[in-house]
Structure 1
């Protein structure tokens, strides 16, 4: 591909009032890449629930409140526009299509990095949190850390894979489930959940059960769920949980499921999750609950040891997970159900997300 014209200024979406849902389009200076960096002309970016958590300061585990004027976003796809010093011999060249992920860069030397868990890097930079993210037309990224996008995969299709896709792929790999096993996905019709269903059913051979609200039933089934459970049919109390657990176990013929991958930010989903599991089943923590942490209700030692249950955390995925996820997408194993919106609709998208009204993912077209 040819060269990319780099303007002196470009459009960016900023969090103009951190702590609440509010974004604003501003014109900002286009940076020049430093040593080891590339400048990416972004054309598309996914919108993730994590962006809303950062914008609204609703994640207590983050070390500081989000700065006013922060450029959010971490699922960006675009074309390398220019190279910084020291990148001449890298695998990236001007015109290449690449992606920027949740982890903007990792050190490569800490204990997590050395075992391939760069998403847990102790000195990682997070895209969209104290590092300018992908809700803008041009962004800097380390040349060694951008993700190559397969030629056959459209940019709008690729964007949500860089976080949503790689996150659930990594989580399903950690679940311990084997082909033919039952796996439950709470939040099955959401941005993460609908991808987990496809990867689990079509890529890994699992039998998938989706749990979500009734209006998402068709999407959930289209994505590979054999069975769907409508949360509207269950009361939000102990009796409702008991009935939900009974229904999950009835689907499996009695013992329960091999794994539960929680793809929602709901504390209730975590409280219920262990009860779905069979002997030596695994609960994988993916969705990050907002507000004060609530313990996983049934995680008492007696219940855990009697069934030899496991609780596993899964933070995004590493660079290899990202490549394998994008390869699945390029082969058509997994397809994001998404809608494309212009930049000026981002606040509205977050408002819909907050009300649980989104089905699948939203991708912003950054060309406007």
Structure 2
């Protein structure tokens, strides 16, 4: 007898469901549509999503070609498995298991990047919300071997942003090479990525944190474990102001020798340009946030200085399956806690507008049970 097939839709499941689509790619505009609820194939599960985090990458996908009108965005989804494609191909997963859908929706598992555990740069990677239907909807298909189990005790709305933001900064901190007791600087410390990086660095990895952001985020950043905070609004935007900021950051580092690493969690060319000057010897700049507009080289990446101080610049995309599990485990142990605001599906356009105005503290999570 072959594997038991369980891909017949439960009559209690809807034939259609609500999804948020990008209706005018290139503009901040979304629309709630009714779409057909799909059936899982071999090796797939159907997940009833309850929450989805909103990431700046979603904004970027919406605003740039080749995104097509009607694309369902989102890549930080949490829900329960309601249909298994077939039991044999779904491993140990069971109906009712709570799982997460990540930025990487699935990988080939056989290319050199996959074999090295570098899931995000898989040669055949599938990205949630880019060609592959994302998590801004009430039901979604997912590869059974790529969903992330959500630990008991971690609320779904808190877990959702960890599936991209949390994993991303955890992977970046691991790549930084910074050791317990050393200092890391986090530009964008009060944002969606940064506020998670501060917690994981200080509480989970024993690092000393200097946060950089606007003054309205100081209380949040300090409460999450930062030893020092630099308020960007107190510095002019000219060279004199930039030099003063660099001097103040270095003065705040232990023994005034510079930081072991800078984890750039903001999409700011200015932040990248200053980052090299924050470092002490053998330091690293880890590139996480992606500036928009024209590509600009990192100012200060001078070969002579990099050789003399043995400095490094490291690119870091989202983490792999193991790092996803480790990040959620930290949440279960209380090491990291997402600071979020819940919004209904109808508010996604407004969320993107607030994000563009840099008015968001922490993370926004869409409650997919609330349409209006």
TM-score when scaled to structure 1?
0.96
1:266 maps to which of 241, 265, 268: 268
Which residue is equivalent to 1:205? 206
Pair 1:16-2:23 in alignment: yes
Deviation at 1:87, TM superposition (A): 4.4
Deviations 1:193-250 (A, max 9, x none): 0000000000011110000001111111111111000000111122111111100111
Which residue is equivalent to 2:7? none
Following the alignment from structure 1 to structure 2, what is the Cα–Cα distance between the partners of residues 85 and 334? 35
For the Cα contact (< 8 Å) 1:4–1:95, is it kept in 2? no
Deviation at 1:136, TM superposition (A): 0.1
Following the alignment from structure 1 to structure 2, what is the Cα–Cα distance between the partners of residues 45 and 4? 26
Which residue is equivalent to 2:289? 287
Deviation at 1:86, TM superposition (A): 6.0
Pair 1:329-2:331 in alignment: yes
Following the alignment from structure 2 to structure 1, what is the Cα–Cα distance between the partners of residues 340 and 86? 37
Which residue is equivalent to 1:109? 110
1:158-177 to structure 2, matched below 5 A, reads 158-177=159-178
Structure 2 stretches lacking a partner, 5+ long: 1-9
Structure 1 stretches lacking a partner, 5+ long: 58-63
- 1:89–1:349: structure 2 CA closer, same or farther, 3 Å change rule? closer
Following the alignment from structure 1 to structure 2, what is the Cα–Cα distance between the partners of residues 161 and 147? 11
For the Cα contact (< 8 Å) 1:5–1:81, is it kept in 2? no
1:38 maps to which of 28, 40, 45: 45
Following the alignment from structure 2 to structure 1, what is the Cα–Cα distance between the partners of residues 219 and 137? 34
Deviation at 1:41, TM superposition (A): 0.3
Which residue is equivalent to 1:61? none
Helix, strand or coil at the partner of 1:329: helix
Pair 1:347-2:349 in alignment: yes
For the Cα contact (< 8 Å) 1:178–1:206, is it kept in 2? yes
Which residue is equivalent to 2:136? 135
Deviation at 1:255, TM superposition (A): 1.2
Following the alignment from structure 1 to structure 2, what is the Cα–Cα distance between the partners of residues 187 and 89? 39
Pair 1:313-2:315 in alignment: yes
Deviation at 1:94, TM superposition (A): 1.1
Which residue is equivalent to 1:60? none
For the Cα contact (< 8 Å) 2:42–2:89, is it kept in 1? no
Helix, strand or coil at the partner of 1:209: strand
Pair 1:224-2:225 in alignment: yes
Following the alignment from structure 1 to structure 2, what is the Cα–Cα distance between the partners of residues 4 and 345? 31
Following the alignment from structure 1 to structure 2, what is the Cα–Cα distance between the partners of residues 87 and 76? 25
The two structures, once aligned, show a CA RMSD in angstroms of 1.2
For the Cα contact (< 8 Å) 1:4–1:81, is it kept in 2? no
Helix, strand or coil at the partner of 2:131: coil
Deviation at 1:5, TM superposition (A): 3.6
TM-score when scaled to structure 2?
0.95
For the Cα contact (< 8 Å) 2:90–2:145, is it kept in 1? no
Deviation at 1:88, TM superposition (A): 5.1
Which residue is equivalent to 1:364? 366
Following the alignment from structure 1 to structure 2, what is the Cα–Cα distance between the partners of residues 189 and 361? 10
Following the alignment from structure 2 to structure 1, what is the Cα–Cα distance between the partners of residues 165 and 196? 7
Following the alignment from structure 2 to structure 1, what is the Cα–Cα distance between the partners of residues 82 and 88? 13
**Count of residues paired in the alignment:** 360
Deviations 1:51-100 (A, max 9, x none): 0010011xxxxxx5101000000000000010114645512111110000
Which residue is equivalent to 2:73? 72
For the Cα contact (< 8 Å) 1:12–1:27, is it kept in 2? yes
For the Cα contact (< 8 Å) 2:195–2:362, is it kept in 1? yes
Deviations 1:90-127 (A, max 9, x none): 12111110000000000000111001111111110000
